[in-house]
Chains A and B, each alone.
Chain A
């Protein structure tokens, strides 16, 4: 146990007062269970749970996934702030937002674990934890501590209109195909440099050298004239893709589901360079005044029922291994029976980028070019 942890565990004056009050209450009531009730009441976390999450995962359609939490904690309903990516979440926290929990993806576990902004979870407080995919659980650990609780997972791949587009190959190259100028959408994230690296055949796209990064950036800049939209909001993508403004897009499984609902002829292509897989990781902000509520919220999200709903409605996978979608198409498309669908040889699991700031700056320059 390190010094800091020892300090945190030391009984504070507030705790002593609480215990004294509970002991007094126990003496008066002369019953152990009433003393426990008094202690619980004194320890009760108050206020609404503050959640920083992605659009679609809050009160804007994702209610089914935390319904159990709302049922058991009606006085502490979640209050949502939305993030467009992890950098956005980081900026919001730096600007003073104090969420109890938020959801970066697997590539950010190390970054946040070492940032001092988050604290490890206590898996013992999450009853559904034992059903979570062990590989994904491990991906949420840093130095043996569980900083991320895995929940949703999926892929970054390519969505295209099969009635309009004929790919030359199953490749990320479709995002850079000159034949479809003005019909292509990229995603607004530095990950585009990783994708360029994959396409250009670099062995470590997440750890590109300066020369490789420069080449990836130059390549993206040279292809930017083909791009109609660099999206950061899925609804924006759905609207443009649905109306025919776009035929090809960097996309997530949910985008494929949504476009199929619009009766569009769409294919979700797994490129030969392999898709990039992601796993959503709930993280607990250090200093959160509602850690127990946060654990309860994550537990609700981690249930098989929530997982099934997520798979059926969003087309994303879920870390709960008991969750199964109703549709066999989805089961097949997402390889939900494959416990390692998110990693080699199926996909590249997203990972830490040691020089993230350099990547970010170069991506911003691509957009500005």
Chain B
């Protein structure tokens, strides 16, 4: 009771007790903040320093310069690659959200007793290695893979003319990314739908709304924060993706993330340009996150 009182009227907390509370908060926050600072902000700062040539692999004299940034912004090649990656990520995110929504809807609102078992099945692939899941697609999509073998068997294609666009292509990258990220999309939508107040749907029905109208006017708007969160969950990581494209993308599926990796590694290395590309990506993602965060409206959701 004393705790409840103290929580409701902090003005009555004795001075010594208030002091302890004041120290607890920074202590609890201190570790994660320090972690963020050391393993997130400092590395970003170092990468940024490389992009301005403050740090350099070149042992010779060097100083602050905007040359790499200027070259990047004038380079149609890198910007074009960035837009190609944005388009691919947007396509993957949109398709996966559209596919995941009905799935999450069924799991959350169908009332089936097995929904948590089904949810577990949905996330079961996460129990295996990411690399393994991507490599498995090579077996499926290759010239002698499952799909082509089936086409040969049915006579739809001759073994001399397999569907060769399936692997080492932009399509392969988007397909595999979609498969990998589908559960990530389904989960936030599922949570959003499951927390929906069912009485609102009953009220809509009582007021004469059809099921479609109720979905369009009630369910969909209220689940939008989950949809936006899900979209972001896919879009942000896939924009900087490099593992999947390097395994199934070939020359055509090469993405912006691959370019960053190559500039830091096999491409001579050119850490200055690589850092510019990395910081640019980080900036774009940060801006998009801020913009999309407005749609999440966490306070309104909390109030609801």
Contact = CB atoms under 8 A, between A and B. Distances in A.
A229 B264 CA distance: 21
A84 interface: yes
Q: In which size bucket is the chain A interface?
A: 35 or more
A357 B270 contact: yes
A240 B168 contact: yes
Top 7 A-B residue pairs of the complex, sorted by shortest distance between their CB atoms? A360-B268, A91-B269, A227-B251, A368-B81, A244-B143, A365-B77, A364-B267
Contact of B59 (A116, A363, A367): A116
B144 A367 contact: no
Contact of B251 (A190, A224, A356, A365): A224
A94 B269 contact: yes
Interface string A294-337: 00000000000000000000000000000000000000000000
Nearest to B139: A243
Given A239-B138, A243-B144, A369-B77, A364 B270 contact: yes
Interface of B: 57, 59, 75, 77-78, 80-81, 138, 142-145, 162, 164-165, 167-168, 250-252, 254, 258-259, 262-271, 273
A229 B142 CA distance: 13
- Looking at B57, B168, B251, the one whose CB has the most chain A CB atoms below 10 A away is B251
A356 B167 CA distance: 33
Given A245-B164, A368-B77, A368-B259, 5 more contacts: A85-B266, A357-B268, A363-B267, A368-B81, A369-B77
B223 to A, nearest CB: 38
Nearest to B142: A243
A104 B138 CA distance: 32
A90 B250 contact: no
B144 A360 contact: no
A79 B247 CA distance: 26
A361 B270 CA distance: 8
A207 to B, nearest CB: 17
Contacts of A88: 265-266, 269
22 contacts: A85-B266, A87-B268, A88-B266, A91-B266, A91-B269, A94-B271, A188-B262, A189-B266, A224-B251, A227-B251, A228-B250, A228-B251, A229-B251, A230-B254, A243-B144, A245-B142, A356-B268, A360-B267, A361-B273, A363-B267, A367-B262, A368-B254
A186 B59 CA distance: 33
Contacts of A245: 142-143, 164, 167-168
A289 interface: no
A182 to B, nearest CB: 6
A368 B251 contact: no
Contacts of A224: 251
Contacts of B165: 182
Interface string A145-189: 000000000000000000000000000000000000011001011
Given A90-B268, A228-B250, A243-B142, A364 B263 contact: yes
Nearest to A190: B268
Contacts of B250: 227-230
A232 interface: yes
Given A94-B57, A364-B259, A367-B259, A243 B266 contact: no
Nearest to A116: B59
A198 B251 CA distance: 22
- Looking at B57, B81, B168, the one whose CB has the most chain A CB atoms below 10 A away is B168
B251 A230 contact: yes
B144 A244 contact: yes
Contacts of A87: 265-269
Interface in A78-110: 84-85, 87-88, 90-92, 94
Nearest to A226: B251
A244 B168 contact: no
B266 A84 contact: yes
A365 to B, nearest CB: 5
B239 to A, nearest CB: 15
Contacts of A232: 266
Contacts of B142: 243, 245
A110 to B, nearest CB: 15
B164 to A, nearest CB: 6
A228 B144 contact: no
Contacts of A367: 251, 254, 258-259, 262
A84 B250 CA distance: 17
A363 to B, nearest CB: 7
A362 to B, nearest CB: 10
Contacts of B259: 364, 367-368
A176 to B, nearest CB: 13
A75 B269 CA distance: 35
Contacts of A244: 143-144, 162
A183 B269 CA distance: 29
B280 to A, nearest CB: 13
Given A85-B266, A182-B164, A365-B75, A243 B143 contact: yes
B86 to A, nearest CB: 14
A189 B265 CA distance: 11
Nearest to B273: A361
Contacts of B59: 116
A104 to B, nearest CB: 13
A87 B269 CA distance: 6
